[in-house]
Amino acid sequence: MARRPILTHLNVDTTWLLSIPYPAGVENENARKCFHVLIDPWLRGGQSDVAAFFSQQWHATPSAVQTASELEVLIEGIEAEEEDGTPPRDSETYLDAIVISHEFTDHMHKETLLELPAQVPVFATTKAADAIRSWGHFKLVMEIPRFEGSWRSADAALPEWVGVTRVAKAGRDLLYYHSAIMITFPSTSSSTSSPEEAEAIIYTPHGIDPSDLTLVAEASPHIKTLALMHGLQDISLPRAQLNKGAHNGLKVQRLLDARYWVSTHDEVKRGGGVVSWFLRRRGVSVKEALEGEMSKEGEGKGDRKMLGEIRFRDVGNGESLVLE
């Protein structure tokens, strides 16, 4: 039976480890079981954007993984699960790539990133890549390209069978706040899958307009969304929508027919600053989102069978989900 990808939640917020099994027959010089991708690392300490008086936050619950060395131990354990003991360590780190979705410091946390090995390649959105390069720590920082139809990587820093792209509104999007990172790899979910078909993790911590994902939904060869990572919290300021929440997540899930919907970026943090005075937060469950959808369609309350068909998962702090 083919191994399956594993998502591990490293805190209550939006730091994740994605472990993608190596396909059979591909080059794997370190004899690893998985290609390990760290997403939006913020492990401990505070974060502030603009200035502390404007916005400052801390995790309300300590991260399950506190340090880079603890992360290495975690990954070593994932590798060892398939072995008779601990696998050989042929390089300084088990970590293969770091992905940064935004330049905001709850996604691009400098203190956390500077703990990580300098030789690990970083893939980041434009402003985040510029900021990370300015630190002079990492040897390779690459800007994540837009998805334009082909899921395979054209970047020498990634294996040919792994793709990391950005999905966003067409044209020049200055903020790309409501966008997604798509991580793709060959499909192994079915014995009949074509070698050109892919599975994808769609990571959108603030949410994304469903129409912006049409290119993914209609891609040929087919891209199957294995996991949609989208939060439930509807968060806004008086003149700005921040996190789009469960109602939007349901629309995206419908469009992509995601096998799993995994909540992310829903931690209610400790914090303060001017922004906190105006922040509006509304938690909506998947059931409530379904009921709202059905009500708008004039069909009364949400259908529990439909609720059961949506494989929603709230992965706890330090917990893992095997994406079967």
User: Can you give the CATH number for the domain in which 180 is found?
Assistant: 3.60.15.10
Query: Residues of the chain with pLDDT > 70: what percent?
Result: 86
pLDDT band at 89 (very low <50, low <70, confident <90, very high): low
In whole angstroms, give the CA distance from residue 242 to residue 98. Answer: 24
pTM: 0.91
Q: If you average pLDDT over residues 277-303, what whole number do you get?
A: 79
Greatest mean pLDDT among 81-85, 91-95, 265-269, 311-315 lies in: 311-315
CA angle 272, 108, 142 (to 5 degrees): 160
| 271 vs 73 pLDDT, higher one | 73
**What pLDDT shows up at residue 16?**
99
| Calpha distance 50→55 (Å, rounded) | 7
> Looking at the predicted structure, is the pLDDT value of residue 52 above 70?
no
Average pLDDT on 237-255 reads 94
| Phi, psi torsion values for 246, nearest 5 degrees | -65, -35
The range of the structural domain enclosing residue 110 comes to 6-315
320 within a domain of the structure (yes/no)? no
Give the burial string for 48-81 (b: 16+ CB within 10 Å, else e): beeeeeebbbebeeebbbeebeebbebbeebbee
Question: Which pLDDT score is estimated for 194?
Answer: 65
- Per-residue model confidence as pLDDT tens digits over 111-130: 999 999 999 999 999 999 99
pLDDT at 300 over 80: no
Cα 41 to the chain's mean position, in Å?
10
pLDDT in tens, 155-210: 789 999 999 999 998 876 666 899 999 999 999 765 555 667 999 999 999 999 99
User: 173 pairs with which residues across the strands?
Assistant: none
Whether 143 maps to a domain, the answer reads yes
Instruction: Classify residue 323: in a domain, yes or no.
Output: no
pLDDT at residue 213 in the model = 97
Please check whether residue 228 is in contact with residue 202, taking contact to mean a CB–CB distance below 8 angstroms.
yes
Q: Decide: 60 and 267 in contact? Cβ < 8 Å.
A: yes
| Mean pLDDT, the chain, integer | 89
Reply yes or no on whether the pLDDT at 304 is more than 50: no
Predicted local confidence at residue 195, as pLDDT:
65
Residue 298 binned pLDDT confidence (cut-offs 50, 70, 90): low
> Which residue from 235, 261, 234 is spatially nearest to 250, judged by alpha carbons?
261
d(CA 36, CA 88) in angstroms, rounded, equals: 16
Q: How far apart are CA 145 and CA 291, in angstroms?
A: 37
Q: Is residue 321 part of a domain?
A: no
**20-23: long-range contacts, CB 8 A cutoff, minimum separation 24:** 20/162, 20/183, 20/185, 21/188, 23/161, 23/185, 23/186, 23/188
Q: What is the pLDDT of residue 276?
A: 67
> Does any domain span residue 115?
yes
Helices (H) and strands (E) in the chain, counts: 8, 19
The total domain count for the chain is 1
Assess if residue 256 is contained within a domain: yes
What local confidence, expressed as pLDDT, does residue 305 receive? 45
Flag whether pLDDT at 245 surpasses 70: yes
